[in-house]
Structure 1
Amino acid sequence: MRLRHLSPALCATALAAVAALVTGGASASAVPTDGSLPPGRGFHAVIRPVDDATRASMMGVSWKPGCPVPIEDLRVIEMTHRGFDGADHVGHLMVHEDIARDTVNAFRQLYLRDFPIRRMELIETYGGSDDASMEADNTSAFNCRAITGGTRYSVHSYGKAIDINTVENPYVKGSLVLPASGAEFTDRTDVRPGMLVDGDRAVTSFTSRGFDWGGHWTSLKDYQHMEIPQP
């Protein structure tokens, strides 16, 4: 596009379109941070580097020396999501810069399908506790921690895994259900709002972009979990 041949007004429109593409096709304008958007406002998302205040809140909580990804490689996505109340809300998700655009596009598809998200808050809100975040039914991504029941780094430690509606989509291994309040959602044939179920377009919104879904695993089921596998 040769902007020099356009009027100033058209140049501004064209530049805004380019900026939207940079954020994965979402609106490039900042969304409000008061927690809600007017109904019908539509999906908006902004991808930003980690700011100084957020970085400070991460130290010793979700990030520690030795973590496999530097904070400089992480991005905070501020985006609209549909709530269980049917209204639009603003959430925050921290992911690796490599998957930020695909993450925005996947969540846009959830929004367009009226798939509800209970809450979307950075893990620092819960002191870095995965258990507390799950019990709150929080959708989150980056957290430098070990895998559940193990010692190696979780893919969350790379910012390349996302847990969605953790109560409606629990982690299940034998008799262990996490969070415990997710036990009423272990029957995946009883489909209710916010559940990720096999074959549903909410799942394919992620898997079509290269994510693996924990609901497809065989040794256990992690219905909340989407990840980009690490080499």
Structure 2
Amino acid sequence: MHIARRCAALALGLGLALGLLPGHAPAADAPRLAATVRDVPGEKLGASHGPGCPVPPQRLRLITMNHWGFDGRVHRGELIVHQDMVRPVLRVFREIFDERFPIRRMRVMAEYDGSDARAMADDNTSAFNCRRVTGDAGHLSRHSYGDAVDINPLENPYVDRSGAVHPPAAGRHLERDPAAEGLIMPGDAVTRAMESAGWQWGGHWSPPDYQHFSADGT
């Protein structure tokens, strides 16, 4: 039994590395999602994790994977998520990749010293970051648990309860134009993929958080 389980784990790891998730067989000549999953090195957490964080580092995983950029090319990015979220996150980003939805950049929050404001201003797609809710310091963000993702913040603004727009430069995208590149819209590739994984979209909130998806809807 132990040998069988180890073989199954190795097969899953190889499938992740090659982008061959269950039920997915890309055409031989088509670009495909290629992903690797591993424990998170300390330098990849940096200031995004510290004392009092609800999830210990050993329960987080670093996903390195391909994504389409705004330049029409395939780039390599990184996300940190809770270990229980690896499979749904990979399924979502596989579907997004197949639809060629563009992502500006995908870097771990340690590269921004855990600053959500800096990451949003840089249009960075991210997941884990142990922090308070932007614009509501009384509550811990779901990103602290590794089960939330923000995608293309400059194209998909967050409006807090005071009416402030985050990041400020994203205010021009409060008027949603489905023709604009990188915007998340109802029924598009991103929202369909997230819904199929059981994740909920902050774009339905009032005020909206167009960049935000989470497993528990908060």
- When the two structures are superposed, what TM-score results if normalisation uses the length of structure 2? 0.85
Which residue of 2 is the match for residue 19 of structure 1? 13
Q: CA RMSD in A?
A: 2.7
2:77 to 76, 84, 91: 91
> Cα deviation per residue 1:79-107 (whole Å; 9 max; x = unaligned)?
00000000000000000011111101101
**1:230/1:207 CA distance change after superposition, 3 Å:** closer
Per-residue CA shift, 1:150-203, capped at 9, x if unaligned?
222100000111000000001024642111111111111453111111121321
Deviation of 1:208 after TM superposition, in Å, equals 1.4
Q: Report how far residue 224 of structure 1 moved.
A: 0.2
Structure 1 unmatched runs, 5+:
4-11, 29-38
Whether 1:209 aligns to 2:197 is: yes
The one-letter amino acid paired with 1:49 is D
Contact 1:25 1:105 in 2 (8 A): no
Please state if 1:177 is matched with 2:165: yes
How many residues are paired up? 205
In structure 1, distance between residues paired with 2:9 and 2:142: 36
Picking from 149, 152, 158, the partner of 2:139 is 152
Match of 1:191 among 179, 187, 194: 179
Show the counterpart of 1:143.
129
What residue in structure 1 maps to residue 26 of structure 2? none
**Does the 8 A contact of 1:62 with 1:123 survive in 2?**
yes
Pairing of 1:23-42 with structure 2 (within 5 A)? 23=16, 26=19, 41-42=31-32
The 5-angstrom pairing of residues 35-184 of structure 1 reads: 41-55=31-45, 58=46, 61-150=47-136, 151-173=138-160, 175-184=163-172
Report sequence identity in percent: 41
Distance change (3 Å), C-alpha of 1:49 and 1:165: same
Aligned residues of 1:155 and 1:230 also touching (Cα < 8 A): no
1:227 aligns with 2:214: yes
Question: C-alpha distance in 1, partners of 2:83/2:140?
Answer: 19
Counterpart-to-counterpart distance in 2, 1:66 and 1:227: 21
The residue matched to 1:221 in structure 2 has which SS? coil
Distance 1:15 1:157 in 2: 28
2:37 match: secondary structure: strand
1:142, 1:157 within 8 Å by CA — same for their partners in 2?
Answer: yes
CA contact (8 A) 1:26 1:44 kept: yes
**Post-superposition offset of 1:127:** 1.1
